[in-house]
Chains A and B, each alone.
Chain A
Amino acid sequence: MSEIKTVTLTIDGRQVTVPAGTSVLEASKVIGAEVPHFCYHPGLPVDGNCRMCIVEIDGARRPPVSCATSCADGMVVRTDTAAVKAIRASVMEFLLVNHPIDCPICDKAGECMLQDYYMQHDRKRSELRDEKVHKPRLVKFSDRIVFNGERCILCTRCVRFTENVTRTHELGIVNRGDRALVEVAGGGSLHNRYQDNVADICPVGALTKTDFRFKKRVWFLKHTDSICPGCSRGCNVVLDHDKNEVVRVMPRFRAEVNGHWMCDEGRDIHKRIGVDRLLAPRVKLPGREGGATPEEALEAVAEVLGEARKTPDRLAAIASSWGTNEEAFLFAKLFGETLRTPHMDVKSDSDEGYPEDDVLHTADHNPNRAGVVAQGVVPNDKKGGLGLAGILDACRRGDIQCLVVWGPGLSGHLPGGESELALVLSKVARVVYLGWKDDPVARLAHVALPTPAWAEKDGSYTNCDGIKSTSVRALDPPPGVRGEIEVLADLQARLKGRSYGRTFRELAAKTGAPLPPRRPAPALRQPSLYRHASGVARP
């Protein structure tokens, strides 16, 4: 293995050793000397147009921009001299000359670099006595992105994103001086599948997402590390939520998974949480019909499985590819070890979504097929176990007496869809469904148990490259809905199987899930009795 060449330099009187080729800006981050910058973004090529990251380097003819200067051995850098501070203040003044400063109605306010740097490096009143230059506002770049030319500081981050990341080249800067403007090439609209990223990387509020526009001020949001279940890339994301509702999904940097980015499908994935939910258990067993409490439904499942374990050859279990590693681990133990069925396989829960592309999106619209398989949810070949197609065929022949389906989407595996599903399931004596969607299987099953959506539970996922990411519970599940881990551990206990733990943290040691850093609990807000007021008659 070849040695990585390093260089040693001095920044603000402190020695720092970095790989050769590192920019001075990145090297300053290592020692915690923050160099302010607008146009530099670690995921994009360097442009050096905003001049905010200027530092003093001994021997240089004039202070250079630190983002475009590579570290050299023996370099002496100063990031906080009076001259540097004066330059930063001038750059800020220049950027703010024509800036509308309409922060009250700007969605970026609160996470705006211009606001933050103004407070840190400028704090002067505007000297401008003339009318500010007006530019087009509310330009629809596409259905997802709205552009406000007045707020734009012409950092070209968005342009470089479409040039280098998506390579679709839609955006460019037209005109010069104070008439310069970002425009969509040829008067068209943004048409790539990663366009929401331009709003994230825009250092100001010039690009806003129609989806998030005016929904929430950012300081009300709570942030929870999660993953995107939209495809098997499993992009690491942050769910921004408030009042038990996800408002925004933002990418979380993870070099080996998604880098800085995520696709637009993942931005919208939180909208699936509230749709078609199975909210209460359903039991349709003789003598147990009608509404059941979660406890009664669990007992019914235990009874069905207890009956089925007498003939393990006629029991089949189909796992969800949206399940977490920990759940899959318990699922494999419950059916493979305790109930000893050879027929176990994983299915696709979802087949809708963007087609595969060469940026991030994969062809598999399920986040954890690899992980579920790796946890042992596979047909037992030694005992003639059947795969998914085999199980469905066996059901059709009437060879399966008890079928456990975890997660929605089984009808997608039958060419005849829902009508064929009804036919197949009518041949099975007992069907148990476990999932968060009100799926056709849930309506046909003898017992259906609701489970939380991925944002409502802790768990780890293994992506298409075998990299594990952990998703932390951001929302409370609907009342009375218990997580799969708890349900499976409970069934294991009722069926007298081995106990492997009932919480994510207990099981994470067995599945090798990376443990998320514990974030400080958000400040408690008293539950409000407030209800929307309109429609109340007033004297």
Chain B
Amino acid sequence: MNPLLNPKLPEPAYKEEFTAGRLFTYRNPSDLTLWERLYVPEVLRGLSITGSIFFKNMGLWLVWLGYWARGRANEAPRGAVTVYYPEEERPDMTKVNRGKHILTQRLNGEPQCVACYMCATACPAWCIHIDAGEHPDPAIEKYPVRFDIEIDKCIFCGYCEEACPVDAIRLTTDYHTVDYLRERMVYDRDYLLSWNPTKVQQEHVYPGGEPRRG
């Protein structure tokens, strides 16, 4: 029965117990059998499951090594090894995966962004940092002198993309955000603008169809 339709909800099941002089309240009283409550046999059973999977994978890996030595690694069973990242990539990444950001460009290559801070305001990870400046062209008026995204903090929620009133920031499908240097994981304006327009435009997929322009 749907509890929302039944206003008289059953009392929550709980059990109180004095142990070592303190009152413990168990919200979900245990329904374990005596055998299970002996603890050690169940732990050993769990270990045997993980262990058997581990040894099966090790065996498969040895088989894979044999294939690899004969140059036929592609045909081998994979076992524990799923994808040899970064040499290999998953073939089944979704086309609407949210990855690295780009800043879209005006025709002259300048950022489309008007430094309105909507993305920085919407960002739940507070990882967008903007400094606005006065653009020499009075028709543009405001533009980002600095636009940094801390990619290591970003949770790829896409709110920035959604908040932007001028379609200036987009998330691409590129998920290669790894780096050996934390400093390099702060993407600055020029890096965000350095994408190759033709490549990204081909790759970019809009889940709801092409956005209305203008």
Residues of A whose CB lies within 8 Å of any CB of B are 104-105, 137-138, 213-215, 217, 219-220, 525-526, 528-534, 536-539
Contacts and interface: CB of A to CB of B under 8 A. Distances in A.
B140 to A, nearest CB: 9
A138 B138 contact: yes
A286 B33 CA distance: 81
Contacts of B165: 104
B121 interface: yes
Interface residues of B, number: 31
A23 B105 CA distance: 54
Contacts of A529: 182
Majority-rule SS of A interface residues: loop
Given A105-B116, A536-B183, A530 B132 contact: no
Interface stretch (B54-62, B73-81, B184-192, B195-203): B184-192
Contacts of A219: 121
Interface centre among B142, B153, B165, B182 (most CB of A within 10 A): B142
B115 A536 contact: no
B186 A536 contact: yes
Given A217-B117, A219-B121, A530 B150 contact: yes
Contacts of B121: 217, 219-220
26 contacts: A104-B118, A105-B114, A105-B116, A138-B138, A138-B141, A214-B133, A215-B132, A217-B116, A217-B121, A219-B121, A525-B126, A529-B182, A530-B129, A530-B148, A530-B186, A531-B183, A531-B186, A532-B129, A532-B146, A532-B148, A532-B186, A533-B183, A533-B187, A534-B188, A536-B184, A536-B186
B160 to A, nearest CB: 14
A525 B120 CA distance: 14
B191 A538 contact: yes
A214 B142 contact: yes
A525 B125 CA distance: 11
A214 B130 CA distance: 10
Q: Can you list the 10 inter-chain pairs with the closest CB atoms, starting with the nearest? A: A104-B116, A533-B186, A214-B132, A533-B188, A105-B142, A217-B117, A533-B148, A534-B188, A536-B183, A138-B138
Interface in B87-129: 114-118, 121, 126-127, 129
Contact of B134 (A214, A532, A536): A214
B114 A137 contact: no
A531 B134 CA distance: 23
Contacts of A220: 117, 121
B65 interface: no
A104 B116 CA distance: 5
A229 B208 CA distance: 57
Nearest to A215: B132
Interface centre among B117, B134, B146, B191 (most CB of A within 10 A): B117
Nearest to B132: A214
Nearest to A219: B121
